[in-house]
Amino acid sequence: MSSRKKERTTQLVIKAVLNGFRAIDTACQPKHYREDLVGEALLKLQNEHNIKREDLFIQTKYTPIGGQDTSKPIPYEPSDPISKQITTSCKTSLANLHTTYLDSYLLHSPLSTMEETLEAWNTLAQLQDEGKVRAIGVSNTYDVRILAALANVRKVEVVQNRWYEGNEWDQKVFNYCKESGIMYQSFWTLSGSPSLLSHPALVQIAKASNFTLPQAVYKLAQLEGVTPLSGTTDETHMREDVAVENLSFASEGSEELLEALTKFIRE
């Protein structure tokens, strides 16, 4: 579940978790996210609903200065070395989220040079060694060469990219992740893929399986090896999205329809 909902974040995170979500994605980036309100939701879930910290997967990000809005509070001193920026940002995230560790910590994007990106990656590896973060990864990274360079320092465990028709389903990076055992998370999965949502084979297999069209897209993504992120604000859709993991496409006639869909997204 993505928490990019600003002032509505607290209530929406609580609703998402109570409707079955157990993973939360956010960022230490006041421009788009209210990480502190995710933390407020986590406290309420623990105190009022007995949802424990260890029952949840919490992922956040260090956002380089180019992705920050300088008119808003920046979670680190931009003049500091990158390594210190990241450790400060991570400390802020831990405080915002009322936790002693993060399940996953990402670079929100590569930095302006490979040297800076590697410096940032070494800092994430250090945070991992210190036990402050568990998995480490990157977002908005569409060049396999960057992932390969990072892997020479420390294994990349998570990649979060746009997986949609506008970038031809990010096939090069997605294939690299699949071959390397990297969790590939996607955003824009629904909003960026109108042609997939309206594809005759998807419409047919969704109807035969009693799925909604979004459920069919999410299930197709999961079958491909993609972990789709949901940012819905509708409680009915929350329940439908969570249900996808345990749903199966109808067996009769589905094989040919799935072949048509996989051909559509791979070619």
Tell me the percentage of the chain whose pLDDT exceeds 90: 95
The whole-angstrom separation of Cα 192 and Cα 188 is: 5
Give the tens place of pLDDT for each residue, 190-248: 999 999 999 999 999 999 999 999 999 999 999 999 999 999 999 999 999 999 999 99
Nearest to 210 by CA among 168, 169, 160, 247: 247
What per-residue confidence (pLDDT) applies to 267?
77
Give the tens place of pLDDT for each residue, 170-189: 999 999 999 999 999 999 99
Neighbours of 43 (CB within 10 A): 13
Helix then strand count (H, E) for the chain reads 11, 7
Neighbours of 259 (CB within 10 A): 11
Q: What is the mean pLDDT of the chain?
A: 96
The whole-angstrom separation of Cα 187 and Cα 254 is: 26
The whole-angstrom separation of Cα 92 and Cα 155 is: 25
**Parallel, antiparallel, or unpaired for β 158-162 and 133-139?**
parallel
What per-residue confidence (pLDDT) applies to 154?
98
What per-residue confidence (pLDDT) applies to 5?
64
The pTM (predicted TM-score) of the whole model is 0.95
Nearest to 197 by CA among 217, 211, 215: 217
pLDDT at 7 over 90: no
Long-range contacts, stretch 258-265, CB < 8 angstroms, 24+ apart: 258/201, 258/205, 258/220, 258/223, 260/199, 260/201, 261/196, 261/199, 261/201, 261/202, 261/205, 261/220, 262/220, 262/224, 264/196, 264/199, 264/201, 265/165, 265/169, 265/196, 265/220, 265/224
pLDDT (mean) for 243-266 = 93
Give the tens place of pLDDT for each residue, 135-157: 999 999 999 999 999 999 999 99
Contact 265, 169 (CB under 8 A): yes
Q: Considering the domain 6-188, what is its CATH architecture? A: Alpha-Beta Barrel (3.20)
Give the tens place of pLDDT for each residue, 97-127: 999 999 999 999 999 999 999 999 999 999 9
pLDDT at 17 over 70: yes
CA angle 195, 243, 205 (to 5 degrees): 40
What per-residue confidence (pLDDT) applies to 74?
96
Question: Confidence band (pLDDT; 50, 70, 90) for 22?
Answer: very high
What per-residue confidence (pLDDT) applies to 252?
84
- Residue ranges covered by each domain of the chain: 6-188, 193-267
